[in-house]
Structure 1
Amino acid sequence: MDNFFKLKQNNTNIRTEMTAGITTFLTMAYIVVVNPAILYGAGVPFEQVFMATVISAVVGCLLMGLFANYPIAIAPGMGLNAYFASVVATQGLSYQVVFGAVFLAGILFILLSFTKLRETLIFAIPASLKYGITSGIGLFIAFVGLRNAGIVVPDEANIVGLGDITDPIIILTVVGLFITLILYVSKVQGALFFGMAATGIIAFFTGQLQFEGVVAAPPAPVFLDMDIAGVFSNGLFTVVFAFLLVTLFDTTGTMIGVAEQAGFMKDGKMPRAKEALLSDATATTVGSMFGTSPSTAYIESSSGVAAGGRTGLTSLTVAVLFIVSIFFTPIIQVIAGIPAITSPVLIIVGCFMMEGLARINWKAFEEAFPAFAVILAMPFTSSIATGIAIGFITYPLLKLVSGKGKDVHWIIYVFGFIFLIQMIFFPMH
Structure 2
Amino acid sequence: MERLFHLNKLGTNVKTEIIAGFTTFLTMAYIIVVNPAILSAAGVPFNQVFIATIIAAVIGTLIMALFANYPIAIAPGMGVNAYFASVVATHGVTYQVVFGTVFLAGLLFLLLTFTNLRELIIESIPAPLKYGITAGIGLFIAFQGLKMSGIVVQNPETYVAFGDLRNPVTTLSIIGLFITLILTTRKINGALFIGMFLTAIIGYFMGMLQIEGIIAAPPKPVFFDLDITGVFSNGLYGVVFAFLLVTLFDTTGTIIGVTEQAGLMKNGKLPRAKAALTADALATTVGATIGTTPSTAYIESSSGVAAGGRSGLTTLTVAILFLVAMFFSPLVAAISSLSAITAPALIIVGSYMMGGLAKINWSAFDEALPAFLVILTMPLTASISTGIAVGFITYPILKLVGGKAKEVHPILYVFAVLFIVQLVFFT
Using the size of structure 1 for normalisation, the TM-score is 0.77
- Partner of residue 370, structure 1: 370
1:229-244 to 2 correspondences below 5 Å: 229=231, 232=236, 235=239, 237-244=241-248
Alpha-carbon distance, 1:251 to partner? 2.8
- Return the letter of the residue paired with 2:31: N
- Partner of residue 396, structure 1: 396
- Partner of residue 70, structure 2: 72
Please, what is the CA RMSD of the aligned residues? Answer: 4.0
Q: Does 1:250 align with 2:254?
A: yes
- Partner of residue 29, structure 1: 25
**Cα 1:421–1:271, aligned 2, differ >3 Å: closer, same or farther?**
closer
Deviates further, 244-253 or 226-235: 226-235
Deviates further, 147-156 or 287-296: 287-296
Deviates further, 370-379 or 293-302: 293-302
Q: Does 1:131 align with 2:131?
A: yes
1:248-287 to 2 correspondences below 5 Å: 248-251=252-255, 254=258, 260=264, 272-287=272-287
- Return the letter of the residue paired with 1:110: L
- Partner of residue 291, structure 1: 292
Unaligned regions of 5+ residues in structure 1, if any? Answer: none
- Partner of residue 333, structure 1: 333
- Kept in 1: contact 2:238–2:426 (CA 8 A): no
**Cα 1:216–1:151, aligned 2, differ >3 Å: closer, same or farther?**
same
**Cα 1:99–1:180, aligned 2, differ >3 Å: closer, same or farther?**
farther
- Return the letter of the residue paired with 2:70: I
Q: Once the two structures are aligned, what percentage of the paired residues are identical?
A: 48
1:19-168 to 2 correspondences below 5 Å: 19=15, 22-39=18-35, 42-44=38-40, 51-64=51-64, 66=66, 68=67, 71-76=69-74, 81-84=77-80, 87=83, 103-168=103-168
- Kept in 2: contact 1:128–1:367 (CA 8 A): yes
**Cα 1:347–1:107, aligned 2, differ >3 Å: closer, same or farther?**
farther
Q: How many residues align?
A: 408
* SS of 2:247 mapped into structure 1: helix
Equivalent-residue separation in structure 2 for 1:137 and 1:101 (angstroms)? 27
**Cα 1:186–1:125, aligned 2, differ >3 Å: closer, same or farther?**
same
Alpha-carbon distance, 1:38 to partner? 4.7
* SS of 2:210 mapped into structure 1: coil
Alpha-carbon distance, 1:244 to partner? 0.5
Residues 365-390 of structure 1, C-alpha deviations (whole Å, 9 max, x = no match):
11111121122223323333432332
Equivalent-residue separation in structure 2 for 1:185 and 1:93 (angstroms)? 50
- Return the letter of the residue paired with 1:169: V
Equivalent-residue separation in structure 1 for 2:342 and 2:65 (angstroms)? 29
Equivalent-residue separation in structure 2 for 1:190 and 1:352 (angstroms)? 15
Alpha-carbon distance, 1:402 to partner? 1.3
Q: Does 1:324 align with 2:324?
A: yes
- Return the letter of the residue paired with 1:291: T
Alpha-carbon distance, 1:331 to partner? 1.1
**Cα 1:250–1:216, aligned 2, differ >3 Å: closer, same or farther?**
same
1:138-217 to 2 correspondences below 5 Å: 138-217=138-217
Alpha-carbon distance, 1:171 to partner? 0.7
- Return the letter of the residue paired with 1:28: T
Equivalent-residue separation in structure 2 for 1:364 and 1:90 (angstroms)? 41
* SS of 1:327 mapped into structure 2: coil
**Cα 1:206–1:352, aligned 2, differ >3 Å: closer, same or farther?**
same
Using the size of structure 2 for normalisation, the TM-score is 0.78
Equivalent-residue separation in structure 2 for 1:410 and 1:215 (angstroms)? 54
Residues 152-210 of structure 1, C-alpha deviations (whole Å, 9 max, x = no match):
22323322211222111211121122223333344444433333332222121111222
Equivalent-residue separation in structure 2 for 1:11 and 1:236 (angstroms)? 40
**Cα 1:239–1:399, aligned 2, differ >3 Å: closer, same or farther?**
farther
* SS of 1:154 mapped into structure 2: strand
Deviates further, 405-414 or 317-326: 317-326
Alpha-carbon distance, 1:399 to partner? 0.6
Equivalent-residue separation in structure 2 for 1:32 and 1:360 (angstroms)? 30
Equivalent-residue separation in structure 1 for 2:224 and 2:186 (angstroms)? 43
Unaligned regions of 5+ residues in structure 2, if any? Answer: none
Equivalent-residue separation in structure 2 for 1:227 and 1:191 (angstroms)? 47
